[in-house]
């Protein structure tokens, strides 16, 4: 998989690399500026492991917003692009290094402050999602967004991609928890947007515009995040279905009556991959498995589980198991989270993130099976079914060039299928550099033009994360 | 109270009014174009009853998106401004008519379609909030946002202002329920943003940018709204406190542990105004009254009410009353909703909408009392206390010019106080035309500049709702 954006547009006009690096070192000091290629190497790629990642001019590792501003001003004055970077756990190539550009890593800005009275966390972008959760938990509070990578992904990256996760079917995604942002704009200006107030409609919704903008409009240096009281421990229900259609129908039925805290689906191929890996006794013959949690308080969980169970049985579940033991439930969630490593053992992967309106899940999943067969690749799929957001995983042998081409073709066909169903090519990972080609197919020319007008207004020289986002 | 924006900037360059009206009638037909001054009069003002509202060139009442586009194209070609208008229930003057401009009323576009399987409502902008709620309820579903004006305000206006309400302390505001928007841009282009998929991070968060933009970036012609299952009927708790400080401390304490579905506060002046009006036996000597609802399911409501009650008692509540009878609870909510008509009997009103971080509520309310005394006006205050969003109501005798000036001075001082406390000058009503002067004090020059760059990118001729929003 390769991107077409590893070359900075104006690279040819610049002074020699060494001269620029010397200037940078004078401006920001050796503690901030990394130019050693061996050290820089760790900042070139992300979880896409994309071999086409470029060679940056330097990696900046600022510790303060002043240093971020100084770096941006230095780059802006010279028209040198900047690739912002959080923890490097992105799955769409949004932080892949660009030849001749600065990679601006926020990994040293990790402060977290919990304000109990306002129930907010004031967080620097390099802090990990799990660290924010842990800091909030010390005060009986909870930061809900939970991407599967929560232990290793940064809040800055979460904000950049508007990251989702497993609990967002009930609790929403990152943007629902961002009350304020400090952002360094393309010219180095620092703007402070929003604040600790919960409701605020003064002026345009700028906080919301920056969330999900993948580093293309500004660089987030601080986020004010809303926290909520920790919910009760969840009850967990696992149900086997002969078909994906039955499982999807059960999801529609249960979500019309209750609000589960998690609604995950595994298809037959992913069930078998996980069972090969974990040997935990999953039903290999099932067409789909649903994993549903309820965090309704006290006895209400029993009533909610009953509604969920009835919806499963009414839609053809062959086996239903419910537990109120949080640890036992966590075991099933671990199985779901094991899908990615389980499938990773089978070959090289292309990870998708397509979404459709929930009732179209069976159409999407049946179509994906068909694409897999036609292209001679495996595509096990797990899904945040309550949101209609799926992760088909195209598995192939990278050493087999023809198969690698088939895999890429299958990947593109899945994107096209999602668009044809009124869906999206990315529900939570972002467009990054790897899905740009398909974006205009989803948005159409008028929305693309509107997007570029906003980009041009905020970053007229196009120095912020060129080649990413749109 | 007057705005400075009732004159269209380029009015002098236009052909005579009658010629323009004739052209418009030819273009759009007499069923869409209203030019009779008597009929137009009903479309000139909103709930601010601002006497400075201008005289529109014409009122357009399109029935279809094609007619909206035709109207916008006609105006864009001539540089004639457009004031979009929903139900005219705005409290900040966002839809006040502008001299020589078109008022584009969406009051005929009222279709509502409920899609049960995706739990969405597909709604035209003129549909009332209450009509959407009712249509959803027919399917056991709920559209949460509930501005106090929900029976008479339109979804288009709710989207334009990102309207809040009473339940948003638990369920969020309008933007949290908007999955998709159809928007006619300043040049007449129709863009379709988002859709029925719940999660979608492809491209910039354009849906979120248009929500709350007060008709300054485009005209919403359709919204796709997320619905949720109807929650259980609420339990209601009323608590009297000697001081606002005690009530606010109780709010902070309870919200750290549970998520009430409503947390309203009335100060002494508003309690007395309501008691004068309703004679329902409220405690006239109380410094503050809290009205809290829990919609936790089944027995869990008892546990949640116990937490809320304990928080009230621990913070000095002198009287606490809880009821699980939804009708009795609704009676108390009606008392809270009666605050505005109760105060309206006392004189002319300037209605504020300032917000602060919740722990600063006592500082804000004490400061408002001080401003009232110093300016010789009454300022009873009700608050969505769980969100820190307050509605101080400046009461004055409009026939007394000196007092009217004092009232305006008090109004401005309250805005300045909110800003000085890290708050906002509008939590849910919007900037409209009446709060523009204070906006830059809140946002600062850099954020204002950023705002105007986006405006210029989307509406370079400045024809969309000039003088409103920012």
What residues in chain B have per-residue pLDDT under 50? 1-11
pLDDT band of residue A7 (cuts 50, 70, 90) is very low
A94-144 residue pLDDT tens: 999 999 999 999 999 999 999 999 999 999 999 999 999 999 999 999 999
**Which residues from B are below 8 Å from A390, CB to CB?**
none
Q: Is the pLDDT of residue A6 over 80?
A: no
Scan residues 112-151 of B and list those with Cβ closer than 8 Å to A.
Answer: 116-119, 139-141
Residues of B in contact with A162 (CB under 8 A): 201, 205
Q: Inspect the interface and report whether the beta carbons of B431 and A457 lie closer than 8 Å.
A: no
Inspect the interface and report whether the beta carbons of A422 and B196 lie closer than 8 Å.
yes
A164 touches chain B (CB under 8 A): yes
Q: Does A302 touch chain B (CB under 8 A)?
A: no
Distance CA(A232)–CA(A38), nearest Å, equals 47
Confidence (pLDDT) at B272? 96
Asked if the model's pLDDT at residue A184 lies above 90, the reply is: yes
Residues in B touching A229 (Cβ below 8 Å): 255-259
The answer to whether the Cβ–Cβ distance between A201 and B161 falls below 8 Å is yes
- In B5-18, which positions are buried (b, 16+ CB within 10 angstroms) versus exposed (e)? bbebbebeeeeeee
Whether B211 sits inside 8 A of A199 (CB atoms) is: no
Inter-chain contacts counted by CB atoms under 8 A, chains A and B: 282
Rounded Cα distance between A136 and A443, Å, is 38
A422-469 confidence digits (pLDDT tens): 999 999 999 999 999 999 999 999 999 999 999 999 999 999 999 999
ipTM for the complex shown:
0.96
Is the minimum CB–CB distance between A465 and chain B shorter than 8 Å? no
Digit-coded pLDDT (tens) for A194-233: 999 999 999 999 999 999 999 999 999 999 999 999 999 9
Nearest CB to B256: which of A168, A229, A451? A229
Pairwise CA distance, residues B446 & B297, whole Å: 47
Kind and range of the H or E run holding A291? strand A288-294
pLDDT at B13: 64
- Contact yes or no for A112/A127 (Cβ under 8 A): yes
Q: In what order do the strands lie in the sheet with A288-294?
A: A319-323, A235-241, A288-294, A262-267, A381-384, A389-396, A348-351
Q: Do A165 and A148 meet the contact criterion of CB atoms below 8 Å apart?
A: yes
Chain-chain contact of B192 with A447 (C-beta, under 8 angstroms) = yes
Q: Which of B249, B255, B366, B246 is nearest to B317 (CA)?
A: B246
Interface contact flag, A299 B303, Cβ < 8 Å = no
Q: What is the pLDDT of residues A369-415, one digit of tens each?
A: 999 999 999 999 999 999 999 999 999 999 999 999 999 999 999 99
Radius of gyration of chain A (CA): 23
Give the number of residues written for chain A. 470
CA-atom Rg of chain B in angstroms? 23
Chain A contact for B422, CB < 8 A?
A: yes
Rounded Cα–Cα distance for residues A381 and A364 (Å): 11
The H-assigned helical ranges of A142-185 are 155-161, 168-171
Is B281 at the interface with chain A, CB within 8 A?
no
Using CB atoms, pick whichever of B139, B201, B300 lies closest to residue A212: B201
Give the count of alpha carbons within 13 A of B11, CB side only: 17
Residues 6+ apart with CB under 8 A from B145: B129, B158, B163, B164, B165, B167, B168, B171, B172, B173, B174, B177
Q: Please name which of B371, B387, B161 lies closest in space to residue B260, comparing C-alpha atoms.
A: B387
Q: CA of A348, closest CA in chain B: separation in Å?
A: 25
Residue B62 vs residues B39, B41, B80, B81, B211: alpha-carbon distances, Å: 15, 18, 17, 17, 21
- Note the pLDDT of residue A13: 64
Q: What whole-number distance in Å separates Cα of residue A106 and Cα of residue B228?
A: 38
Domains located in chain B, CATH noted: 112-229 (3.30.465.10), 235-340 (3.30.70.2190), 346-420 (3.30.70.2740)
Only one residue has tokens 């369920």, namely B171
In the predicted model, what is the mean pLDDT of chain A? 95
A361-375 vs A244-255: helix crossing angle, rounded to 10: 160
Give phi and psi for B280, each to the nearest 5.
-100, 5
Distance of CA B346 to the CA centre of its chain: 23
CB of B305 less than 8 A from some CB of A? no
* CA dist., res. B45 & res. B59, Å (int): 12
Q: How many CB atoms lie under 10 A from the CB of residue B30?
A: 10
Helices within B376-435 (DSSP H only): 401-420
Q: CA of B206: which chain A residue's CA is closest?
A: A209
Distance between CA A144 and CA B175 in Å, rounded?
18
> Looking at residue A15, what is its pLDDT?
84
**What residue in A sits closest to B116 (Cα-Cα)?**
A256
Residue A11 in contact with partner chain B when CB distance is under 8 A: no
Give yes or no for a contact between B62 and B86, defined as CB atoms under 8 angstroms apart: no
A180 and B CB contact within 8 Å: no
| Rounded Cα distance, A28 and A22, in Å | 10
pLDDT at A161 over 70: yes
CB contact under 8 A, A199 and B447: no
**Helix ranges (DSSP H) in B325-396:** 326-337, 339-344, 361-375
In sequence order, the 6+-apart residues with CB closer than 8 A to the CB of A186 are A72, A76, A217, A218, A458, A459, A460, A461, A463, A464
Residue B33, min C-alpha distance to chain A (Å): 28
> What pLDDT is attached to residue B5?
44
* pLDDT range class, residue A65, cuts 50, 70, 90: very high
Is B36 at the interface with chain A, CB within 8 A?
Answer: no
CA distance A83 to A467: 10
d(CA B305, CA B324): 10
Q: What is the pLDDT at residue A8?
A: 47
CA angle B425, B427, B429 (to 5 degrees): 90
CA-based nearest distance B461→chain A, Å: 14
Cross-chain residue pair B388–A141, CB shorter than 8 Å = no
H helix or E strand, kind and range, residue A60? strand A58-60
Nearest to A6 by CA among A98, A84, A82: A98
Chain B contact for A187 (CB, 8 A cutoff): no
What is the 8-class DSSP label of residue B203? S
Tell me the CA end-to-end span of chain B in Å, nearest whole number: 18
Contacts of A453 in chain B (CB under 8 A): 457-458
Q: Give the nearest partner residue to B388 out of A191, A197, A259, using CB atoms.
A: A197
Average pLDDT over residues A252-259: 95
- Give Cβ neighbours of residue A19 (< 8 Å, ≥ 6 apart): none
For residue A430, which residues of chain B lie inside 8 Å, CB to CB?
A: 201
Shortest Cα–Cα distance, A125 to chain B (Å): 19
- Cα dist from B337 to A178, B232, B236, B249, B427, whole Å: 30, 21, 15, 23, 18
Q: Does A284 touch chain B (CB under 8 A)?
A: no
The answer, for A162 touching chain B at a CB cutoff of 8 Å, is yes
Alpha carbon separation from A108 to A64, A65, A389 (Å, rounded): 9, 11, 32
**Residue A231 is encoded by which pair of tokens?**
């919910």
């Amino acid at each position: 998989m390769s991107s077409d954006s590893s070359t900075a547009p104006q690279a040819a006009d610049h002074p020699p690399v060494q001269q620029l690096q010397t200037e940078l070192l004078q401006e920001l000091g050796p503690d901030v500026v990394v130019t050693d290629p061996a050290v820089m190497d760790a900042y070139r790629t992300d979880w896409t492991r994309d071999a086409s990642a470029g060679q940056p001019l330097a990696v900046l590792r600022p510790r303060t917003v002043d240093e971020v501003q100084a770096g941006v001003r230095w780059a802006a004055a010279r028209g040198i692009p900047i690739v912002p970077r959080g923890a490097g756990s992105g799955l769409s190539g949004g932080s892949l290094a660009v030849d001749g550009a600065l990679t601006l890593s926020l990994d040293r800005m990790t402060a977290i402050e919990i304000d109990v009275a306002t129930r907010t966390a004031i967080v620097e972008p390099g802090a990990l999602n799990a660290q924010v959760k842990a800091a909030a938990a010390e005060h009986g509070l909870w930061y809900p967004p939970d991407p599967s990578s929560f232990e290793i992904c940064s809040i800055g990256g979460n904000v950049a991609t508007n990251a989702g996760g497993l609990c967002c079917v009930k609790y929403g995604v990152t943007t629902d928890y961002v009350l304020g942002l400090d952002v360094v704009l393309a010219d180095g200006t620092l703007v402070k947007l929003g604040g600790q107030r919960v409701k605020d409609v003064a002026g345009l919704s700028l906080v919301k515009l920056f969330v999900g903008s993948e580093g293309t409009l500004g660089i987030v240096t601080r986020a004010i995040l809303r926290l909520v009281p920790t919910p009760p421990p969840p009850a967990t229900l696992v149900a086997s279905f002969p078909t994906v259609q039955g499982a999807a129908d059960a999801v529609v039925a249960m979500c019309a009556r209750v609000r589960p805290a998690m609604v995950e689906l595994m298809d037959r191929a992913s069930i078998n991959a996980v069972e090969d890996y974990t040997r935990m006794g999953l039903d290999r013959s099932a067409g789909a498995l649903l994993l549903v949690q309820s965090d309704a308080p006290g006895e209400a969980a029993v009533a909610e589980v009953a509604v969920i169970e009835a919806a499963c049985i009414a839609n053809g579940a062959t086996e239903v198991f419910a537990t109120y033991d949080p640890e036992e439930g966590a075991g099933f969630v671990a199985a779901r989270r094991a899908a990615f490593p389980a499938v990773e053992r089978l070959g090289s992967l292309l990870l998708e993130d397509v979404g459709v309106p929930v009732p179209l899940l069976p159409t999407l999943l049946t179509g994906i099976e068909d694409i897999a067969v036609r292209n001679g690749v495996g595509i096990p799929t797990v899904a945040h079914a309550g949101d209609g957001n799926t992760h088909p995983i195209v598995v192939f042998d990278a050493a087999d060039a023809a198969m690698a081409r088939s895999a890429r073709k299958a990947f593109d066909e899945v994107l096209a299928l999602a668009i044809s169903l009124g869906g999206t090519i990315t529900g939570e990972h972002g467009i990054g550099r790897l899905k740009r080609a398909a974006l205009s197919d989803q948005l159409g020319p008028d929305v693309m033009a509107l997007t570029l007008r906003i980009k041009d207004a905020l970053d007229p020289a196009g120095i912020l994360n060129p080649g990413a986002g749109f």
